[in-house]
Amino acid sequence: MTSVFNPEPTLSIKLFKTLSYESSHSWAVTDLNTDLNTGSMLETYFEQKEGEWFSYIRSNAGTVDWKLRSANGLGGCATVSGAAATTLITFTNSIGSIVSIGDVVYTGTTTPAIVGDIVAMTGKSITVDASDPAATIPTAGDMILYYKNSVAESHGARGYFMEFTMTNDDTEAVELFSVGSSVMKSYP
């Protein structure tokens, strides 16, 4: 089943935060597209609450979109030391409280290159597992960026409209009564 949400079909960008539906059984959202984002939601993401199945809209796993709020910069690194599995990157200033263990670190500005996952951190440093052969080890002065887990830290889907496809693989008849979404005007 494919459908579209387009409240206030004007040129205002919206933020689609959730998807909910009333049905006799759970469904998966196999395709979710706006003119600015893509995503999907596994059947297991949905929780039944007050008679409806409910889930926050998530980005696709492995998605990196530098225009989203999941991407942030830490600044230029002061020093880089240690073995690849425990690369210590220090900064002149505090790294703040938004960065988390498990975030993926990148280096560079034009085309960011992956360094690895944050495995530990202190006030002015992060330890990164950069043991992957594809990892790029930064050098002092390089710009360091990090990206939140695209599924766990998704902020919804932005766009003028949202098209979605829901599927159900049950072998018995399943009824779908209604589908809804929490939508608000996006203020980037």
| pLDDT at 62 (0 to 100) | 72
Q: Do 88 and 111 reside in the same domain of the chain? A: yes
Q: Do 115 and 178 reside in the same domain of the chain? A: no
Q: Do 91 and 133 reside in the same domain of the chain? A: yes
Q: Do 79 and 45 reside in the same domain of the chain? A: no
Q: What is the pTM of this model?
A: 0.68
Q: Do 122 and 163 reside in the same domain of the chain? A: no
Q: Report pLDDT digits (tens) over 89-136.
A: 999 999 988 899 999 999 997 889 999 999 999 999 999 999 999 999
Residue ranges for the chain with pLDDT beneath 50: none
Q: Do 84 and 36 reside in the same domain of the chain? A: no
Q: How far apart are CA 186 and CA 13, in angstroms?
A: 6
Domain range spanning residue 15? 2-63+152-185
Count H helices, E strands: the chain?
Answer: 0, 18
Q: Do 7 and 23 reside in the same domain of the chain? A: yes
Work out whether the CA dihedral 73, 162, 166, 52 comes out positive or negative: positive
Q: How far apart are CA 64 and CA 62, in angstroms?
A: 6
| pLDDT at 37 (0 to 100) | 80
Closest CA to 146 of 127, 167, 171: 127
* Residue 86 main-chain phi, psi, to 5 deg: -135, 60
Q: Do 83 and 139 reside in the same domain of the chain? A: yes
Q: How far apart are CA 5 and CA 164, in angstroms?
A: 8
Q: Answer for the pair 37, 157: CB distance below 8 angstroms, yes or no.
A: yes
Q: Do 37 and 76 reside in the same domain of the chain? A: no
Two structure tokens written together for 23:
């049905």
Two structure tokens written together for 7:
């409240």
- Give how many domains the chain has, as a whole number: 2
Closest CA to 5 of 184, 169, 146: 184
| pLDDT at 188 (0 to 100) | 66
| pLDDT at 153 (0 to 100) | 67
| pLDDT at 117 (0 to 100) | 95
| pLDDT at 114 (0 to 100) | 94
Q: Do 114 and 49 reside in the same domain of the chain? A: no
| pLDDT at 154 (0 to 100) | 67
Strand, helix or coil at 44?
helix
Q: Do 51 and 77 reside in the same domain of the chain? A: no
Two structure tokens written together for 180:
């809804």
Residues 6+ apart with CB under 8 A from 181: 5, 16, 17, 18, 19, 20, 57, 162
The CATH number linked to 133 is 2.40.10
Strand, helix or coil at 45?
helix
Q: Do 170 and 104 reside in the same domain of the chain? A: no
